[in-house]
Amino acid sequence: MSKFKTIRVRFAPSPTGYLHVGGLRTALYNFLFARKHGGVFILRIEDTDRTRYVNDAVDNLIETLRWAGLDYDEGPEKGGTLGPYVQSQRLEIYKQHVDRLLNTRTAYRCFCTPDRLEMMRKEQEARHISPKYDRNCLSLSQQEIQENARKGIPCVVRMKIPDSLTIRFHDVIRDDVEFSSEMLDDQVLMKSDGYPTYHLANVVDDHLMQISHVIRGEEWLSSTPKHVLLYQFFGWELPEFAHLPLLLNPDRSKLSKRQGDVAVEDYRAKGYLKEALVNFVAMLGWNPGTEQEYFSLEELIQQFSLERVNKAGAIFNIEKLNWLNAEHLRRKPDEELLRMLKEALAQSNFKNAKHDDEYLLKVIFAMRERVSFVNDFIEKGSYFFEPPNEYDQEVVRKRWKAETPSQLKQLAEEFSKLTSPTKQDYEAALQNTADVFHVGNGTLIHAVRLAVSGVGGGPGVYDILFILGKDESLKRMHTAIERLT
């Protein structure tokens, strides 16, 4: 499978805000690959772009990964033998490697000002050529470099791209890939503030941390030839590359916040289950080769392979996510659903409602097939936690007739005769009352449902009556007769 004895992969986010769902997918694929092959999953924080650094973002990233169940083996807070795992703590390492490149003349110092670079770029665009550095500083003598340094002129270090070279590498997902060096710019490797760019830090860290497989988004594919050159400049063995397909909106535009939520935090706040979100994200670009769509994390670990990741962009289908959330929710054990419902109730308008576990378990049983989110138990079944304050007027117009009050009064009288009634007892009493009035059972069922719940849909009416109990059901029926007559 691999030329490496030990599988070592890394998720290397920048702390610029909340974790993007695309980032979650990258982390997930690295995690699944490591777990399947008995490898090591590393978290590395790439914080060398200080202009975009966001306080608390690292804590949020770590907490979100833990929430999703993607526990890393080495990284911040956990440590490891090849750390530190935060790039801003590795600046001396990068400086040493830049010096190596300077000494082998595969990199050079550049003193060009931002103004000059901007002017150069505009001139190139006016001539309709791709903007590239013109190597103005490549021919500087050692004396000129020392003189500029003595004057304190800011400089960056650029890599020297070889001329007329075809750069080839293998990608697990995209097979053999090649680029012409003529397409590449002399990339900045070290900025004037002493911080490395992504390209240098990424390659140095991947080598020193013994990364066997670089699994990352497609947006980094065009940077890979520069990375391949850096590996060659240093005389290092290449890792395996795997570039994941883009995530797309339904209109096939790149997934962005303009068209919907993109942060894992957003979906978590809306009540999506971690199991459903992980299941959904796993299917964005990968398929098991079967019709199976519902996966536990353990099943994903067993079946995942990079070879079954697609090249084409993956459509972010929110309807599929909602379906998966419902499937994962319904398959949870009663005890877990009970805990989740109690937590949701404590944050709801019904936090003062007093219901024991037995009552809530009955609600769960009745509503399980009708909910997609935990809050649906409360929002769609609010009548289980308080009497209806109002009645669906469309249902009133359709179902509440002139004769309904007398029919309900008679039904209430039948119910009142019952002792510890079961669902079958309620059904028999309703059947007897319907026979008395020579109407179908449905006539009374709709009226009772409206009276006790205020709405026209939901679980079976006998389930509702049984859960509410005889006294509460009768109370609601009499209130409806009074308010709707």
Please list the active-site residues: 257
Q: Which two tokens stand for residue 64?
A: 């979100």
CB 173 within 8 A of CB 311: yes
Residue 3 is classified by DSSP as S
CA distance 389 to 53: 50
Compute CA 41 distance to the chain's CA centroid, rounded to the nearest angstrom: 18
CB 484 within 8 A of CB 396: yes
CA distance readout (Å), 245 to 274, 280, 311, 321, 342 = 22, 15, 5, 19, 40
Residue type, 91: L
Q: Three-state secondary structure along 308-363?
A: HECCCCEECCHHHHHHHHHHHHHCCCHHHHHHHHHHHHHCCCCCCCCCCHHHHHHH
Q: Which two tokens stand for residue 131?
A: 């903007």
Q: Would you call the peptide bond into 84 cis, given omega within 30 degrees of 0 as the criterion?
A: yes
Residues β-bridged to residue 441:
none
Do you know the residue count of the chain? 485
What is the b/e burial string over 207-244, where b = at least 16 CB atoms within 10 angstroms of the residue's CB?
A: bebebbbbbbbbebbeebbbbbbbbebeeeebbbbbbb
Residue 163's contacts (CB-CB under 8 Å, 6 or more residues apart) are 181, 182
Can you spell out the DSSP letters for 110-135? E---HHHHHHHHHHHHHTT-------
CB 14 within 8 A of CB 52: yes
Angle at 33 between CA 229 and CA 60, to 5 degrees: 85
CA distance 280 to 316: 9
